[in-house]
Structures are given as C-alpha cells and as structure tokens.
Structure 1
C-alpha cells in the first residue's frame, strides 16, 4: 500500500478515487480488509499526530520511535476518504463477517470468472445485527465497476487450488479487465501466472515491469 500510494496515490493530479482506493478482497482469511483499513487509519493519524508507531499508538512527545519490523503508513490527507472494500469468499464469508463486521459475498472463483462482482453498495455496509448476513446477489458486468475500475485485487494462495489452467486463465483474465493491480499472498511460488494471462509482473522496488519468473524483489516476510 505504501508503494502504491507513493507512486500513484500521492500525485499532484491524483483524482479523488485515489484517495479512496477501491479494493476487492478475495483473500478473506488473510486479514486483508483489516490491514487496509488500519493502513488508512494510521495514515490519517500521521497527518495530525506524527508520533505514531506502526500499531497506531501515539508516542509521548519527544520520544524516538523504536526500530521495528512494522511498516508505518505515509501521512494521508486529513480529509482522505476511507478505502472502499469489496469482499468475496464462498467458504469463509461468515468468519469474515464476524471478524470485520462487514458484508462478504459468497461468490466463487468460477462466478467471478464469468463476470460477477459483489455489489459496490455492500462495500460500505457494516453489519450491526448479530444474525448471520452475507451478500449473495452478484452484479454481472456491474455498471458501477465499469465506471470505476477496481484499484487492487488481493488473492491468496487458494488460487493454486484451481487445477485446470484454463479456469485459472479465465479468472485472471476477467480480473484484469476490471482492475489495475493484482496482489497474490502466497507461501510458495504457486499459482504460476503466465505471460498473456492479462497481467504484467511488477517490481515493487524499481516500480517497473519485470519478467514473470523474476523473483529478485518479491516481497517476503519471514516468520
């Protein structure tokens, strides 16, 4: 998120949507939604209280922030709008709802590959009722998404469960028609995304395209 904001969201001519990125969370068990919202929250605090550590806590005046592995978000404008987050998972939508108090579609990979997306209206719907709620009504070829492309799609290593390469291609190609960035959170090299599947691998350090097999600047976090 920091790299994205540095190169795309913090430009003099950046329009309003870059201040409120549209995110599609397809890795609902990976706490993507919580991380994105924390990034935005801490970034806004940075603009008013610079002495903020990576957990969002304010440091006493004059105290030097200790060196730590946590990544502190950049200072965001005080009037920055929160990210708009769509979420979909056919198996963990209930767990996502309980963890985030937000709606989650039960769309499958196949349905998304066929053009379905969660309703954008559901992105801002926080759940106040304790009863189980999920959004199952998809909007194939949603006019709202067509008018505003998705900024980032987050997927998990569950993509490697798609055994048929043609099905994986169909999903990735469809996502490439609706969104600009694809971030895959995985503990290994799979899934293998090939050239011509709608995506160009990006080097986050050089902020430039690179070869699909190039792993030099892949972002790795060791436990």
Structure 2
C-alpha cells in the first residue's frame, strides 16, 4: 500500500463513497486529522464550563471531599481531538496562574503597600474598572439609530447564540484532573502520535459485546466505570439500529453521561436504548415537550439552522454537541 498523507479528500463523504468507511480509516490510520477541530474545541470547552457550573464545582471543588479525577472514555477517538480539548481545558487555568506568578516574581517588589499581584483572571482588572456612564466625567458614545436597529435585528436573528456562556475555562482546584482512556480500532497510531498517549484498538462491536480496556478505572461505590463518554464525529457511522441499540444499552451501564459531537443531528437515540436527552442550559431532563415541541424555543423541530443554538445543544462553527444521561444512574 502506498504512503498516505493527511485525510485523502477534504470531503469525508467522498472518502467514504470511494473507499468505504472501514477501508478509509485503515488508509489514514496514522495520518488522520479532523478538519473540524476548532469547532470541537469550542463546543467541548463551552460544555465543560457548563458542567463545572452545574455539578463539577460541587463534586470536585475546593470544598469537596474524596475523588478529584473525572474519568472519561474517548470512544472512537480519531487522532485525539476530544482528548486534547479536555486535557487542555483542565490545564489552561493552571498555566495562566503559573505564568502570572512567574511574571509577578520577576517584576520586583511592589512600590507601595497598595500594589497587588496580577489577578489570575485576565479580565478581572477590566471588570473592576467602573463604567464611565453615570460618573459625570463623560457621556456614553452616540450610536446612530440605524446602527442600533441593525444590531438589534442581528441579535434577534441569532438569539440562540447567547444561551451558553463563553468558552473561557473557570479556575479549577490544583488537585483536579481528567483521566482519559481512548479506544479506536483504526486510528490508534494517529492518536498516539498526536497525544503521546495509548489508544486501545476496540471497536463499537467490541464495546457492545462487553469488552473493556485493560486499564479501566475502579468504579466508585459500585457506580459507573466512567463519569463521561465522549464520541466525536463517529457514532453516526453505526448505521444499523440494532447494532446502535446494543452499543448504547451496554454503555448505559458503564457511564453516567454521554456526549455526542457531530456536524449534524445524527444518530437519533431513543430513550429505550438506555439514555435520555438532557437540557444542557437548565441541566435537567429534556422531556418530550422540549424535544418535540415544534414551535417552542429550544425544541429539536425548531432548530433547523446549522448555527442555531438551543438549550438542547451547543453549536459552534457548524459543530453540534448533545448530552445524554444514563437511565441507570
């Protein structure tokens, strides 16, 4: 077989049509890269911020006791896009804090007692500055009426954009970590080359049959093996409903949360398959009214735009993230 570089064609549909899914990933086993990586990072960081706000802080924050590691299965991991995003999210605030401390230490002693170290939040100094509006020193800038109308119209057209907060990660405890175990039957070489981490060559069928990686973490109090399973740009490749059911039902007994990342809304996951769709914004079960409410804001039927964000999914750069909770936990 001749050497293969990159992803062959940039259009994945062309790759699948020409080579077939299995053969394509065998050809690019060591060179595969997901071209949607920037969008994947944005949706994962936005989701992790929401998770931390909703339950992560209470479970792993400074006041929490016990386990300090989030256990993750990166299923069909590709070249490690989801793994890299998760680990970078967990490390980013520590990197900033250490850099700020280093800059403070080399800048010399403070010139007065009122001098303070650089705040760990890069925007803290800006937020601490009072707005000039109402201070008497200046008036707000004049905005022409036509510009205001255009801005309001644009905002109303993109109302879903502000459902979730920014992707800047929160300040995490020093002892918090993410333990990622990866599986992929084809692109393990690309994963290891890019992440310097091992990747188990387990397929969807292997996992559906109950096979597990050798280094699985110990479950907590007879609970799930993993806290979170992430499947990025892969689950829609399971085209047989019976095979998809077997996989998802088996995994529902091994993890509490399932995150699906894709450029579309496939596959459809039924609640009888072991998982229930979750409302990420309110951090509660979505329910049929939210899922199939037609004209209701946030419903699946009302989210046709590739960039439309609802309470049910995070969308960035045409990449969609959906969340499911296991019916077993």
**TM-score interval (norm. to shorter):** 0.7 to 0.9
In angstroms, what is the RMSD of aligned CA positions?
A: 2.7
- Relative to structure 1, the CA distance from residue 42 to residue 52 in structure 2 (aligned partners, 3 Å threshold; closer, same or farther) is farther
Q: Distance in 2 between matches of 1:93 and 1:31?
A: 12
| Partner in structure 1 of residue 237 of structure 2 | 161
Paired residues for 1:168-207 under 5 Å: 168-207=244-283
Please list the CA deviations of residues 67-110 of structure 1 after superposition, one character each: whole Å capped at 9, or x if unmatched.
xx961111111232x21110000011100000000000000000
1:99 counterpart = 2:194 = yes
1:152 counterpart = 2:223 = no
Q: Distance in 1 between matches of 2:206 and 2:93?
A: 35
SS at match of 1:219: strand
Q: CA deviation at 1:52?
A: 5.7
| Partner in structure 1 of residue 323 of structure 2 | none
Contact 1:46/1:75 (8 A) holds in 2 = no
Q: Distance in 2 between matches of 1:8 and 1:14?
A: 11
For residue 174 of structure 2, the aligned residue among 75, 78, 87 is: 78
Q: Distance in 1 between matches of 2:173 and 2:120?
A: 16
Unaligned runs of 5+ in 1: 54-58, 124-143
Unaligned runs of 5+ in 2: 1-47, 101-118, 128-164, 293-298, 301-309, 319-329
1:44 counterpart = 2:116 = no
Task: Answer 1 or 2: which has greater helix percent.
Answer: 2
Q: CA deviation at 1:46?
A: 5.7
Q: Which has the higher contact order (CA 8 A, sep 6+)?
A: 2
1:89 counterpart = 2:184 = yes
Give the TM-score normalised by the residue count of structure 1: 0.75
What is the number of residues matched between the two proteins?
190
Q: Distance in 2 between matches of 1:208 and 1:116?
A: 31
Q: Distance in 1 between matches of 2:243 and 2:264?
A: 20
Q: CA deviation at 1:157?
A: 3.2
Q: Distance in 2 between matches of 1:73 and 1:177?
A: 30
Larger-Rg structure = 2
